[in-house]
Structures are given as C-alpha cells and as structure tokens.
Structure 1
Amino acid sequence: MTTRQTMTWQKMAERNDQVLMLVYPEMTALDLVGPQYAFACTLGAKVHLVGQTREPVMTDTKFAIVPTMTFDEAPADPTVIFVPGGTTGTLAAIRDETTLSFVADRGARATYVTSVCTGSLVLAAAGLLSGYRATSHWAARDLLAAGGAEPVDARVVIDRNRITGAGVSAGLDFGLKLVAMMRDEAYARSVQLLAEYAPEPPFKAGTPAEAGPEITAPLLAMFEGFRRDAVLAVGAAAGRSR
C-alpha cells in the first residue's frame, strides 16, 4: 500500500458517518446482513441496528437480531437510513405509526435514503419515494407506484440520494454501490475482495425471466395476499404522509 493510499484511508477513518439500519419483527435477515457487512467494513462509519426497543427482534427465518439502539436514541441527522424488507413483518411496519414516523423523520434529513427488497415499500409508505425511481423484490416492485414511485426492474436503482436494491441477495450489490458512493470505487472493490464476492450461482433462476413461468407462477401466487394488502397499506400511508 502506498503512502498516498494510507493517507486516504486515514482520512476515511476520521469520518463520522452514522448508518441507521432499521430492524423490526419478521423482517428478512439477509436483507440487512449483506449490506451491514459492507457498512461495517467502511472506515469511519458507525453502524447502528435501530429498533423500537433493545429487545431481540425475531426475523422471518427465525433467528434473532439484537438492536444496538432505540428510535429515541438514534442520531437525528444520519448519513444513511436503511430499511430491510419482508412480507407480513413489512406490512406490520407500514401499519405501525411509530415505525413509519421514525423512517419519515430520519429519512427527511438523511444524506442517503435506502432499502433492500420490500423495504422500499416502507420508504414509499413514509412518503420518501414520491417522484423517485426505485426497485424492490420482483413480486412487489410494481406496488411502489401506490406510493408515488416509478418502479424500475433493476438490481440496484440510484435516483439522486435514494438508493434501492431488489430482492434479498441484491443487498450485497446494493451495499457495495453505496460504499462506493460514500467512499470511492477502489475502496468498494477492496470490500468486495475482502468478502470474496464473486458469485457463480448453481442455477440461472434468479429472476422471473431466467426461472421461467413454470417456477415463477406458483411463487407469485404465494404473494397474492401480501400484494393485495401491501398496495392498500402503502397507498393509505403514503397519502397521509403527503
């Protein structure tokens, strides 16, 4: 490592970026864990897992995540506000006035307003995606329109300071993109190398187009109830937020 690189990294370490990562019951753990790794590897970034209380939060895959601070303790002007997704848990978060008010408040002042998977529905419900391009899990992406957003079929969507990732595993791509924005591309490449993130999936089935209708149709049917309830919840909440 050259002296110039050492100086650059030293300056990065002197930063005081505050990253708020929302945690809520029945969220999808991998939505959060992938980006959290990237943020935790970012020199000068303080990463906080923020819940309504400090009690352990059970995720939808049934292991617990322990918040490091509460809504009341969270910095008022964060560098990043991040929202993970889920299904029934995400619906509950959208319908919970305390959670939605926290996201709307911090999102209004954050440098970067971000999400992975259906976490973007929470942002939309909080009134933070109106007039912005955004993405979400493939089974819910079109529902973003109920919150005034323009749905985009892409792995990561960047529109001004709104950065949204598609479903679940897209959190890894999202995390690296945001680290590059917060630091630089070379640093993000270093984080990618540290993680040995060089995906070679065993099957080409990560999107509906790749998987085909035979596999996609039954999965989409599983989301019918969620889609119906989510579009109503997002529309109602976003209407109150405007």
Structure 2
Amino acid sequence: MSAPLQIGLMIFPKVTQLDLTGPVQVFSSVPGAQVHLIWKRIEPVPSDSVLTLTPTTTFADCPQLDVICVPGGVGTDDMVNDAEMLAFLRKQAEAARYITSVCTGSLVLGAAGLLKGYRAATHWTAVDFLSEFGAIPAKTRVCVDRNRITGGGVTAGIDFALTLVSIMVDRKTAEAIQLRLEYNPAPPFNSGSPDTAPAEILALMKERIAPAQARRSEAIHRAAARLNDIAPAG
C-alpha cells in the first residue's frame, strides 16, 4: 500500500484565509491525503479577516512533505524576512515533490531562493516584485514550471489546487473534486482583473494600496539583498 500524500500549507499572522482555505478544501478531498497546517508553534494565528486559524503541526514536528504550499496575504511582507520560515521552506524543498504557492506566497518562495530561474504567478499587485528574486513573472491564474506550481491572486488558489491534483493524481480525481465543490464560477462583474476592471475601479484600488505597496517594496528589497548574500537553494 502506497504511503499517503503529505500536503503542507503554511500559516502565519495576516495570511489571507481564502488563499489557504480554498486549496485546503480541494486537498482535503484527495483520497488518502494528509493535510497539515504549519506554523512555528501550536497557537491560534490571526488571519487578515475575522477568522483565526489553528496549526496542526509545527516547523519542528512537520513530516517531510510531498507538497509544500505558501499562501499569501499582507503577512508575507514579514515572512519574506523571517529566517525561521525561510529555513523551513528550504529544508522541505530539498525532498518535496512540488513547491507551490498561492497569491503573494510566491514572494516568500522567492525570498527562500526557491524560484530563481522559474516562471511564477502571484497577485497582480505583486507581479513586479518577483524578478527581484530571479523569478520570471507569469500573468496567469496558474503557472506550472517543472515542480514549481504557483497560483495568482486569492481565488486562483482553487484553480491552482485542482491543477495540482490533476498532476499528482489524475484529471478524473480533480474533476470529481471540482464537481463536489460545485466550482462553476460566474462572477457578477467583470472587474476581477486589472485587464478587465473599469479604469476608475483600477485607479481607486491603486490609490488604496499605495501605502501597502511602499511597505512591501521595502520588505522585498531587504529580502532580495539578503538572498544575494547566500548560496541559492536548489
């Protein structure tokens, strides 16, 4: 009997819960898979919404994973410079079959040195930061480059997870999970991308996020400078 798939998703303060819970719902439907929520300690972790998340294992106790996934959120601005998080990711990546992310989680993979020379997706507000880590930005919902599989912003996490299941298991399993979730999106507006949103909505969002973008830029520059001082991870 084959060993169960070990799938681990990182949690951290101010994670965007849908980046996490969309894939968790998909992965939890994979027959025989063991899904882990990982943080430094077993303690409640605040998300970027009213939800509080509870880890199931710690960095120290986590088994070797087949899939390591980093979701995004404003908390990634801290994680790109968090030595414990980056060391854990590098260690797991040595033997993981798939190294993955959703949304701005790809910035954390980049800060760990795990995206150099790989194409990667992220949230539309963060795409310009990927190149600082040697990644090649891909403006797609899901980007597959060898064993690096990255999703775009927030809701793309479901697309990412279904794509990964089709690769790890098979398409039939992925389609059955999609049907179980009734994942059949028909959004009420066509403003879910900077390419399709009305100009005034895009301008409004850019104005709102400008202070956060400045903070993120500073964090990314520090992380990239540190990464350049160490040997790149494989």
Settle same-fold status: TM greater than 0.5: yes
Which residue number in structure 1 is paired with residue 26 of structure 2? Answer: 38
Whole-Å Cα distance in 1 between the matches of residues 112 and 85 of structure 2?
9
Question: Are residue 81 (structure 1) and residue 68 (structure 2) matched?
Answer: yes
* Cα displacement (A) at 1:105: 1.2
Note the 1:189-208 alignment, pairs <5 A: 189-208=175-194
Does the CA contact (< 8 Å) of 1:121 and 1:234 recur in 2? no
> For residue 202 of structure 2, what is the aligned residue in structure 1?
216
* Equivalent residue in structure 1 for 2:128, among 137, 142, 149: 142
CA contact (8 A) 2:39 2:57 kept: yes
State how far apart, in whole Å, the 1-side matches of 2:198 and 2:10 are: 34
1:162 aligns with 2:148: yes
Q: Which amino acid aligns with 2:225?
A: A
Q: Residue 235 of structure 1: which of 193, 218, 224 is its match? A: 224
Mean Cα deviation higher: 188-197 or 102-111? 102-111
How many residue pairs get aligned? The number is 228
Question: Contact conserved, 1:34 with 1:172, CA < 8 A, in 2?
Answer: yes
1:230 deviates by: 3.8
The separation in 2 between residues aligned to 1:95 and 1:151, in whole angstroms, is: 21
Aligned CA distance change for structure 1 residues 82 and 237 (closer, same or farther; 3 Å): farther
Residue type of the partner of 1:175?
Answer: A
Cα offset, 1:219, TM superposition: 1.5
Separation of aligned partners in 2, 1:218 and 1:229: 23
Percent identity reads: 44
Q: How does 1:163-182 map to 2 (within 5 A)?
A: 163-182=149-168
Aligned counterparts of 2:87 and 2:202: Cα–Cα separation in 1:
35
Q: Structure 1: which 5+ residue stretches go unaligned?
A: 1-10
Deviations 1:127-179 (A, max 9, x none): 00000000100000121000000001100000000000000000010010011
Greater per-residue helix proportion: 1
Deviation at 1:15, TM superposition (A): 4.0
- Partner of 2:196: helix, strand, or coil? helix
Give the AA of the match of 1:125.
A
Question: Would the aligned equivalents of 1:143 and 1:230 in 2 still touch at CA under 8 Å?
Answer: no
Which stretch of structure 1 is more off in the superposition, 49-58 or 93-102? Answer: 93-102
Does the alignment pair 1:99 with 2:85? yes
User: After the TM superposition, which parts of structure 1 deviate over 6 Å for at least 4 consecutive aligned residues?
Assistant: none
Amino acid at match of 1:235: A
* Distance of 1:119 and 1:238 partners within structure 2: 16
Asked if structure 2 preserves the Cα contact closer than 8 Å seen for 1:116 and 1:174, the reply is yes
- 1:79 Cα deviation from its structure 2 partner: 0.4
RMSD: 1.4
Q: In 2, Cα distance between the equivalents of 1:240 and 1:110?
A: 25
**Residue aligning to 1:60:** 48
Query: Quick one: which of 24, 28, 32 aligns to 2:12?
Result: 24
* TM-aligned CA deviation for residue 186 of structure 1: 0.7
Q: Is the Cα–Cα contact under 8 Å of residues 67 and 96 in structure 2 kept in the other structure?
A: yes
Q: Distance in 1 between matches of 2:95 and 2:229?
A: 19
Where in structure 2 are there 5+ consecutive unaligned residues?
none
| Worse overlay, 47-56 or 220-229 | 220-229
